[in-house]
Amino acid sequence: MDLLSEYRAKLRTADEAVKIVKNGDWVDYGSNNSYPAALDAALAGRRDELRAVKVRGNLLQGPLAVVECDPEADHFIYNTWHCSAYERRLCDRGRAFFTPMVFRNMGWYYENFLTTDVAMISVAPMDGEGNFNLSGAQGAVCSIVENAKTVIVEVNAALPRIGGESPRLPLDKVDMIVEAEPHPLWEMPTPPASDIEKKIASFVFPHIRDGATIQLGIGGVPNAIGELIAGSDLKDLGMHTELASDGYLAMHRAGKLTNRRKSLHPGVGVLGLAIGSRAFYDWLDNNPEIEGYSLRYVNSTPVISQNDSMISINGCLAADLYGQVCSESVGTRQISGTGGQLDFVNGATAAKDGLSFLCMSSSFVDKAGVRHSRILPRFGGDIVTTPRSEVYYIATEYGAANLAGKSTWERAEALISLAHPDFREELIRAAEQQKIWLPHNKR
């Protein structure tokens, strides 16, 4: 059978395709822009026929039809690997449930522990060689489609095509094809950096050298780093990142991102996921200098560590005086997820001349106008994302401190120096009570 005949034989409407879902099935949606909008709506339309269908996704902008149609979760139970703002609100309402993970283990989870009865993935149209393109979501989707019993693709012509082997999904691996109206992509331009974020970035920036390979997370500090790089005289920087966003486009436009001196994949920027502005997606589309890979590969410590001068820069929410870092919760309230932070902390630390930075403002002001420290005496329910034994640099607007190899009293001294001045005496008293403060330590 030729490609076109095979394609036509697999065509279904969304309503026809979702009939394969049965009570109790596990259904996996693609992440971020591989969210299958038409299939989601069709599956929600079967609500009264189905019970206890478990749906997995992550980084979905929402709204999700299967969640919104079923307030009591009698028919659909939604689970997320990593919370977007929408999924965070669902968790707050008890309408979504978080699954702890690190991204490098996604393939391992699916191969050994998880069942996917039906995968529903939005893809770019098939090319002349019979391949769909997983676009900017191949990082997690690769593991899903490899292990699903049934794979349904929803074709979305709005998706950019990402180069490389991993984003290709051959027609023979697909069971059903749904041609839907293109739905708008999730656009998330990087927000302008605040003055505090620019100050934090100023303490990280001096550690970046010509030829470094950069991993940037999302947020104001990575954006500020991107701005500093764009206006600097740095040369020949590279990209190896779990999640690419507009910061890399800014570096490219300034002529700083060339990938020429990368020790791994020279000449090519590597990503696992992509979320950004329309201009960012246009830059990615059919760009021969950008390649996508599964997060099992991108986030592997041995892989990351092959990039000489690997610099990992991520945000966090809080640290305690022992050097434990929380980047995903406030108390027990889930905010995001572990994602790939620990992967890149480990990988960058293992690389030749590599460095990792976890960045945060020293304090925040709540809705009532009360200031709170992000550096705490000890955690009391906050979820540890990066253990104290793995933390390298922590940076606030008061400096950047290297905790590697530091004892408990040295860590306490360093972290208190990074705290907002309003809280330093209080933190010293706590350190004394916790027996991690020397009487002659600096005040």
Q: What is the pLDDT of residues 250-259, one digit of tens each?
A: 899 999 999 9
pLDDT of residue 217: 79
pLDDT at position 407 is 97
pLDDT tens digits, 379-434: 999 999 999 999 999 999 999 999 999 999 999 999 999 999 999 999 999 999 99
pLDDT the model gives residue 443: 57
Residues in the chain with pLDDT < 70? 1, 442-443
Which pLDDT score, from 0 to 100, does residue 230 have?
A: 86
Q: Are the CB atoms for 125 and 158 separated by under 8 Å?
A: no
Instruction: Share the mean pLDDT of the chain.
Output: 94
pLDDT attached to residue 193: 84
**Pairing status of strand 76-80 against strand 97-98:** parallel
Q: Which two tokens stand for residue 329?
A: 């919760």
87, 154, 197, 242: which one is catalytic?
A: 242
**pLDDT of the residue at 109:** 94
pLDDT tens sequence across 190-219: 778 899 999 999 999 999 999 999 999 777
Residue 410 known to be catalytic: no
Residues of the chain with pLDDT > 70, as a percent, come to 99
Side by side, which strands form the sheet with 213-216?
Answer: 290-292, 269-274, 238-244, 213-216, 310-315, 355-359, 393-396, 399-402
Look up tokens 């002659």; give the residue: 440
The torsion defined by the Cα of 202, 208, 213 and 215, in degrees rounded to 10, comes to -20
Rounded to whole angstroms, the Cα distance separating 299 from 20 reads: 34
Predicted model pTM: 0.95
Alpha-carbon gap, residue 91 to 97, rounded angstroms:
6
Which is nearest to 281 in space by CA: 182, 353, 200, 351? 182
